[in-house]
Amino acid sequence: MKHARLDEVIARSRFDAVLFDLDGVITDTASIHATCWKEMFDKFLNHRRQSGQSTFRPFDIAADYKKHVDGKLRYDGVESFLTSRGIRLPYGHPEDPPGYDTVTGLGNMKDALFKASVESGGVVIYEDSIAVIKHLRSHRFKIGVVSASKNCKKVLQTAQIEELFDIRVDGNVADRLKLPGKPAPDTFLKAAAMLGVEPRRAVVVEDAVAGVKAGRAGGFGLVIGVDHQADPEKLREHGADIVLKGLGELLQ
């Protein structure tokens, strides 16, 4: 039977909806995000060194990105990393221009770098993930995308896959509704409510620890971890029921 494993893991008799993270699950923009975070934080840290406020220790993608930034709302990621380095800045306002003086200014600097990167290089999608989504849609599953990124809509449009999703809960929606970001389950729970399904009848697909924790905390029926970092146990430890190297494993 074609796609037998997918139909067994995400059985129509058990589930009505599947909620996908964007970066690292549907698109390969996670690598762009990581590079932009490093560029922004290294500029900031070097600025502090030049002004005599601290020594320079660069942002480490392997350690700092996964631990403090990945899967979180942008300003939450800024605060988490700054706290890890013992740095305190005023929070600022979302309208602050990119700069070094506030949390929001740093977050907006990173956002500007990301937008420029997407516009210049386009968006790489995981074709196996798109194949899974199309198969699920053909079997009448409701499909949602739940992302901390405020650029989610732009990324979906650039990749020409926006029409595959019934609803979108992203960083803009979280801000408007005052929803805490992952690892809190609120954005996933909002997506399930928008689709009219109970959490226990929905599947969460995530690549970040924060997202996996959110899916588990929300009482979702199945949490699938996608491991691109060769560290599957970390996702399992935080609540993933199944860990795959890529969603293409479900199509084999």
Active site residues: 21, 23
The full DSSP string for the chain is -TTHHHHHHT-TTT-SEEEE-SBTTTBSHHHHHHHHHHHHHHHHHHHHHHTTSS------IIIIIIIIITTS-HHHHHHHHHHHTT-------TTPPS-SSSHHHHHHHHHHHHHHHHHHH---B-HHHHHHHHHHHHTT-EEEEE-S-TTHHHHHHHTT-GGG-SEEE-HHHHHHHT---TTSSHHHHHHHHHHT--GGGEEEEESSHHHHHHHHHTT-SEEEEE-SSS-HHHHHHTT-SEEES-GGGGG-
Q: Residues with Cβ < 8 Å from 88, sequence gap 6 or more?
A: 82
The pair of three-digit structure tokens given for residue 159, joined into one six-digit string: 């990749």
- For residue 165 the two structure tokens come to 């999703």
